[in-house]
């Protein structure tokens, strides 16, 4: 039985999922996103060109591949229109190679406003949301008030839109009387709403499918599928550091519900992590560095958000968190990203345990948000040299290979790809 593989972020997102999905795409027929929405920002670089995708799967740059936006994804027509425009400007074909599930839900302009007022009301407890309307749109889905892509085909679409809009406005007024003046992507609400409706026509022009049937029939015919995760395990709605999380399941289980692929049909699970850690937005981060080492990681790694431009918080690799992520998703192959960022460092650290009030543990604690989690580090010698990607793993500096071997031994899973730069070509496979 042909099974669908999945690639997931094992940290707080931005591990480099877009780059690796693009690198792996030649081996697959279909690439499918299964959760999240425009909170994601997936960067792909090749031939001196750089693209950032938010909703569209990262397989779009390879000719003759099908890209599916699955039922678990939420779509903002305004954002996807801009994405398509940029791709087309860059000479990338977008047509029948992009299919959208009828069951994926829409992000409405008022979801964006709700996200903004909810976040503001949280004050210093704010989540650091990307403010793309993710929480409010998934809330409507779960509370059975959502509008789906397939509903655009029905006559009652306008009235469903107006009903949601009115309901959202009642809530908005409680938070912000003058909600009309709140800006969405630099536009006051009425202007944004107009642009949103214009963009809806582009979404209507995309091919809409029952993606669960499409994908399962494709697997029946031995066509290969790679599912592309968004965000990361530590932002998972159930297993992340709640409430500082996103609103979807970012683990392998999310692929099953977000595409309609049964657990028995899940094939390889690729787990992707940075050689260190970053987090954008609020919430616990045990290995965060507030000193100049953290700033060096940020500068050398260019750690600024792909979606919001915000500086990312930086710190050392966290093994207890990585073990947790591997456990939750049943990861069986690892990919280590951004090894090159560590090139100049004399000394590197990996957290191997946590010290919580004098007790050592390798488990991520329930109340991580309110307790003091002190990492216990193992120190490594840096390699302090450039990595010349001749594609040969054996030629990497011995200190880097020791660093990787240690991670493999701890997790008991092989590291199959080492990424040494943002470009497609800067990828070492084993």
Residues that bind ligand IMO (CB under 6 A): 9, 12-14, 39-42, 127-130, 132, 134-135, 230-232, 235, 246, 280-281, 306
Whether the CB-CB separation of 232 and 11 falls below 8 Å is answered with yes
Extract the tokens encoding 4. 């669908």
128 binds, among Mg ion, ligand GDP, ligand IMO, none (CB under 5 to 8 A by kind): ligand IMO
295 binds, among ligand IMO, Mg ion, ligand GDP, none (CB under 5 to 8 A by kind): none
Residue 96 annotated to the active site? no
Residue found under tokens 């966290």 = 318
CB of 14 to ligand IMO, least distance (A): 4
CB of 198 to ligand GDP, least distance (A): 28
9: contact with ligand GDP by CB under 6 A: yes
The whole-angstrom separation of Cα 6 and Cα 28 is 11
| Cross-strand partners of 374 | 355
Nearest to 366 by CA among 249, 234, 239: 239
Nearest to 272 by CA among 79, 50, 15, 12: 15
45: contact with ligand GDP by CB under 6 A: yes
42: contact with ligand GDP by CB under 6 A: yes
280 binds, among Mg ion, ligand IMO, ligand GDP, none (CB under 5 to 8 A by kind): ligand IMO
Nearest to 308 by CA among 125, 52, 50, 16: 52
DSSP state of 153: G
Residue 168 annotated to the active site? no
The whole-angstrom separation of Cα 334 and Cα 268 is 11
Angle between helices 319-329 and 398-411 (to 10 degrees): 50
Among candidate residues 42, 54, 111, 168, the one labeled active-site is 42
330 binds, among ligand GDP, Mg ion, ligand IMO, none (CB under 5 to 8 A by kind): none
The whole-angstrom separation of Cα 115 and Cα 131 is 6
CB of 255 to ligand IMO, least distance (A): 14
The contact mask relative to Mg ion for 302-331 (x = CB under 5 A, - = no) is ----x-------------------------
CB of 245 to ligand IMO, least distance (A): 6
CB of 299 to ligand GDP, least distance (A): 11
Which listed residue (8, 10, 11, 16) binds ligand GDP by CB under 6 A? 16
Angle between helices 211-220 and 252-259 (to 10 degrees): 110
37: contact with ligand GDP by CB under 6 A: no
Whether the CB-CB separation of 391 and 347 falls below 8 Å is answered with no
User: Among the candidate windows 35-43, 127-135, 168-176, 399-407, which touches ligand GDP by CB under 6 A?
Assistant: 35-43
Nearest to 102 by CA among 31, 207, 30: 207
Q: What is the length of the chain?
A: 430
CB of 10 to Mg ion, least distance (A): 14
Q: Which is nearer to ligand IMO, 138 or 383 (CB)?
A: 138
313: contact with ligand GDP by CB under 6 A: no
CB of 36 to ligand IMO, least distance (A): 6
In sequence order, what E strands does 37-141 have?
Answer: 42-46, 49-53, 66-69, 74-75, 98-101, 105-106
38: contact with ligand GDP by CB under 6 A: no
User: Among the candidate windows 8-16, 73-81, 142-150, 288-296, which touches ligand GDP by CB under 6 A?
Assistant: 8-16
14: contact with Mg ion by CB under 5 A: yes
Burial tier of 369 (Cβ tally within 10 Å: 0-12, 13-18, 19+): middle
Whether the CB-CB separation of 219 and 304 falls below 8 Å is answered with no
39: contact with ligand GDP by CB under 6 A: no
CA atoms within 13 A of residue 367's CA, in its CB half-sphere? 4
Kindly report the backbone phi and psi dihedral angles of residue 158, in degrees, each rounded to the nearest multiple of 5, phi listed first.
-60, -40
341: contact with ligand GDP by CB under 6 A: yes
- Report helix, strand or coil for 288: strand
Residues interacting with Mg ion, by CB under 5 A? 14, 41, 306
Residues interacting with ligand GDP, by CB under 6 A? 9, 13-19, 41-43, 45, 306, 337-338, 340-341, 419-422
Active site residues: 14, 42
């Amino acid at each position: 039985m042909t099974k669908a593989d999945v690639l997931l972020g094992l940290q707080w997102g931005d591990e480099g999922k877009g780059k690796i999905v693009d690198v792996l795409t030649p081996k697959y027929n279909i690439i499918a996103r299964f959760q999240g929405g425009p909170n994601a920002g997936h960067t792909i670089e090749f031939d001196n060109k750089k693209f950032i995708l938010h909703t569209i799967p990262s397989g779009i740059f390879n000719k003759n591949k099908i890209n599916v936006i699955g039922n678990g994804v939420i779509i903002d027509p305004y954002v996807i229109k801009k994405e398509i425009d940029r791709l087309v400007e860059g000479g990338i074909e977008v047509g029948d190679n992009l299919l959208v599930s009828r069951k994926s839900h829409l992000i409405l302009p008022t979801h964006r406003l709700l996200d903004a007022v909810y976040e503001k009301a949280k004050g210093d407890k704010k989540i650091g949301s990307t403010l793309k309307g993710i929480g409010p749109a998934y809330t409507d889905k779960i509370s059975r008030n959502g509008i789906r892509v397939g509903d655009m085909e029905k006559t009652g679409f306008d009235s469903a839109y107006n009903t949601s809009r009115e309901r959202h406005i009642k809530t908005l007024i409680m938070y912000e009387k003058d909600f009309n003046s709140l800006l969405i992507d630099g536009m006051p609400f009425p202007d944004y709403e107009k642009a949103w409706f214009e963009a809806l026509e582009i979404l209507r022009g995309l091919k809409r499918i029952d993606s669960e049937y499409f994908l399962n029939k494709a697997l029946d015919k031995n066509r290969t599928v790679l599912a592309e995760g968004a965000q990361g395990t530590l932002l998972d709605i159930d297993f992340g550091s709640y409430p500082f999380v996103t609103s979807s399941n970012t683990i392998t289980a999310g692929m099953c519900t977000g595409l309609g692929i049964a657990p028995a049909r899940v094939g390889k699970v690729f787990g992707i992590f940075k050689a260190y850690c970053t987090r954008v937005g609020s919430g616990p981060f045990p290995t965060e560095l507030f000193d100049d080492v953290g700033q060096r990681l940020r500068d050398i790694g260019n750690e600024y958000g792909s979606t919001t431009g915000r500086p990312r918080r930086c710190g050392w690799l966290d093994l207890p968190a990585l073990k947790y992520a591997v456990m939750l998703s049943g990861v069986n192959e690892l990919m280590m990203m951004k090894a090159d960022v560590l090139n100049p460092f004399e000394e590197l650290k990996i957290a191997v345990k946590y010290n919580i009030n004098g007790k050592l543990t390798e488990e991520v604690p329930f109340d991580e948000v309110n307790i003091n989690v002190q990492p216990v580090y193992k120190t490594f010698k840096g390699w302090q040299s450039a990595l010349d990607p001749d594609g040969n793993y054996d030629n990497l500096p011995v200190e880097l290979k020791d660093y990787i071997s240690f991670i493999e031994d701890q997790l008991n899973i092989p590291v199959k790809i080492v990424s040494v730069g943002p470009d497609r070509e800067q990828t070492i496979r084993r």
